[in-house]
Amino acid sequence: MTEANPSEPEFDRHEFNRREFNRREFLGSSAKNAAGVAVGMVGLSGATAQATVPVSAGDRLAVGVVGVRGQGLTLATRLAAMPDVAVTTICDIDQRLLDEAATALEEGQGGLPRRESDFRRLLDDPTLDAIVVATPDHWHAPMAVQACLAGKDVYLESPVGHTIQEGWLLVNVARESGRVIQSGLQQRSGEHFRSAIEYVRGGKLGEVRLAKAWTVHRRKSIGFRADAKPPEHVDYAAWLGPAPLRPFNPNRFHRNWNWFWDYGCGELGKWGVQMIDIARWGLDVDWPRRVSSVGGKYHFNDDQETPDTQSVHYDFGGTSIVWEHRQWSNRGIEGRSAAVSFHGERGTLIVDRGGWKVYGAKDNVTADASDLLGPHLCDFIDAIRTRREPSANILTGHVSSGLCHLGNISHRLGREVTFDAATSSCNNDDAANALLTKPYRDGWTLPVV
């Protein structure tokens, strides 16, 4: 095994949060002015590639995108295609991804975006109106909080935080700063998802006491890989950020970080947040009273830590949600790989990204698929211009992400947990309450707002 202790000269963690802000300090100064102190915008490292994207003042919103692999590149491309938006800056700790994304965006918007390897440069840029955060989960809250403090509106991928405590911090900072945060729950803007929820909540299924959400995929084993030196084109210290200091391992990096507790939330964080959000939307519920998870690593023998098989029961008192995932099968529940079912007295409605249909009812009621991401991004941009709440505001994202976290807490403890929404705690359960937050490395504590 190769020893590799990452040093941190390229990304000074003490500069990141050398001062915490309490509520009085925050309200006593503008978010933009506060950010310069909160992040210590001095002596930033990393080369800058200048932008050539044309932006007419007052006509196009200037957006920066942090994390341009996979979903981040998709978001950047869709935003760049909008006539009233310019993706003027992109940021990533992987120089190869950064260059590839810049080239992909150039043709679509008539110029190259500026390329940055240090996201703090985006916070200090007065020309940027909004920032998209599409990084690994452990960076979601730190970046979104700092963006709000810097006076930027935020599009934040799910789960919005890595813990329930981070979610509440995001809710508070959005409220106090007045910034827009759109959670990346794109189904909330899809017409066929909206019509499905209207059908369920309109009483057409009768009393609905149970919703099921699931994802079934045949994923590949990641195997076992030794620690190694980080690639030269990657700033690994910046990628780790607040996570525990560990040697670089390719199995804990691109594509696979979801399956490690230090950076991701497993399948519940990847697909669960999206599907469980629809289930609780239809049932009109927020926090559960009891959560019980069963499952584990039943199939894969490899490095990943999160369960490949998991079933979680959420009790809301009178209604319940059941989550299930299998990462080693290709036959989805009800023949659908990722979906939600609502079970009522008069029938069952099943909805996924391909549309919805009612079963067991007299009438054959269906709806075809609708665009999700386009309307969701349009809703975000409109919310920025009008200062209204977006379709998936940060509280919505926080609660749906919180259900994911509670399911994982039950799994990690190997037993049922109870939750008190009034105190946002697992009652007197010290072990469960400890997992509502997480330890941060010295110098990486989040601001107090």
In this predicted structure, what is the pLDDT of residue 149? 96
How high is the mean pLDDT of the chain? 89
Q: What is the pLDDT of residue 364?
A: 83
How does residue 86 score in pLDDT terms, banded at 50, 70 and 90? very high
What's the confidence (pLDDT) of residue 58?
56
Q: What is the pLDDT of residues 145-183, one digit of tens each?
A: 999 999 999 999 999 999 999 999 999 999 999 999 999
- Read off the pLDDT of residues 338-366 as tens digits, 9 standing for 90 and up: 999 999 999 999 999 999 999 998 888 99
Residue 110 is predicted with a pLDDT of 82
Q: Please provide the CATH number assigned to the domain covering 188-223+238-377+395-434.
A: 3.30.360.10
pLDDT surpassing 50 at residue 34: no
Distance CA 157, CA 163 (A): 14
Q: Which of residues 56 and 124 earns the better pLDDT score?
A: 124
Q: What is the pLDDT of residues 261-290, one digit of tens each?
A: 999 999 999 999 999 999 999 999 999 999
Cα within 13 Å of Cα(157), Cβ side: 26
Reported as a single tens digit per residue, the pLDDT across 424-441 is: 999 999 999 999 999 998
- Whether 81 contacts 157, CB under 8 Å: no
Report the CATH number of the 13-187 domain.
3.40.50.720
| Token couple for 400 | 């749906």
Categorize the per-residue pLDDT at 16 as very low, low, confident or very high, splitting at 50, 70 and 90: very low
What's the rounded mean pLDDT across residues 203-232? 97
> In which residue ranges of the chain is CATH 3.40.50.720 found?
13-187
**328 versus 53: which is more confidently predicted?**
328
Choice among 53-62, 104-113, 268-277, 394-403 with the minimum mean pLDDT = 53-62
Q: Which residue has the higher pLDDT, 11 or 417?
A: 417
What's the pLDDT tens digit per position in 243-266? 999 999 999 999 999 999 999 999
Tokens of 20: 């915490």
Distances (CA, A) of 439 to 241, 330, 435: 13, 37, 10
Q: Is the pLDDT of residue 7 over 60?
A: no
How do residues 296-311 score in pLDDT, each as one tens digit? Answer: 999 999 999 999 999 9
Q: Is 356 or 444 the better-scoring residue by pLDDT?
A: 356
Position 373 pLDDT exceeds 80 = yes
Q: Band of the pLDDT at 442, cuts 50, 70, 90?
A: confident
Confidence of residue 449 (pLDDT cuts 50, 70, 90): low
d(CA 429, CA 419): 9
Q: Can you give the pLDDT at residue 56? A: 53
| pLDDT over 80 at 54, yes or no | no
Name residue 201's amino acid.
R
Inform me whether the pLDDT recorded for 314 exceeds 80. yes
Is the pLDDT at 1 greater than 60? The verdict is: no
Task: Evaluate whether 90 touches 76 at the Cβ level (below 8 Å).
Answer: yes
Residues 6+ apart with CB under 8 A from 4: 227, 228, 229, 230, 247, 248
Letter string b/e over residues 46-67, b meaning 16 or more CB atoms within 10 A of that residue's CB = beebebebebeeeebbbbbbbb
Task: Give CA separation, 12 vs 16, 39, 440, in Å.
Answer: 7, 10, 15
- Residues 200-213, mean pLDDT to the nearest whole number: 97
More confident residue, 11 or 156: 156
User: How many CB atoms are closer than 10 A to CB 385?
Assistant: 11
Looking at 5-19, 111-125, 246-260, which range is the least confident one? 5-19
Q: For residue 53, what pLDDT is reported?
A: 60
Q: What is the mean pLDDT of residues 62-73?
A: 97
The pLDDT of residue 23: 34
- The pLDDT value recorded for residue 376 is 98
Percentage, residues of the chain above pLDDT 70 = 87
The pLDDT assigned to 412 comes to 98
- Band the pLDDT of 81: cuts 50, 70, 90: very high
Residue 165 burial by Cβ neighbours in a 10 Å radius (0-12, 13-18, 19+): middle
- pLDDT level of residue 109 (50, 70, 90 thresholds): confident
**SS (HEC) of the chain:** CCCCCCCCCCCCHHHHCCCCCCHHHHHCCCHHHHHHHHCCCCCCCCCCECCCCCCCCCCCEEEEEECCCCHHHHHHHHHHCCCCEEEEEEECCEHHHHHHHHHHHHHHHCCCCEEECCCHHHHCCCCCCEEEECCCHHHHHHHHHHHHHCCCEEEECCCCCCCHHHHHHHHHHHHHHCCCEEECCHHHHCHHHHHHHHHHHCCCCCCEEEEEEEEECECCCCCCCCCCCCCCCECHHHHHCCCCCCCCCHHHCCCCHHHCCCCCCHHHHHHHHHHHHHHHHHHCCCCCCEEEEEEECCCCCCCCCCCCEEEEEEECCCCEEEEEEECECCCCHHHCCEEEEEEECCEEEEEECCEEEEECCCCCCEEECCCCHHHHHHHHHHHHHHCCCCCCCHHHHHHHHHHHHHHHHHHHHCCCEECECCCCECCCCHHHHHCCCCCCCCCCCCCCC
What residue spans in the chain does CATH classification 3.30.360.10 cover?
188-223+238-377+395-434
Higher pLDDT, residue 317 or 448: 317
Mean pLDDT of 386-413: 98
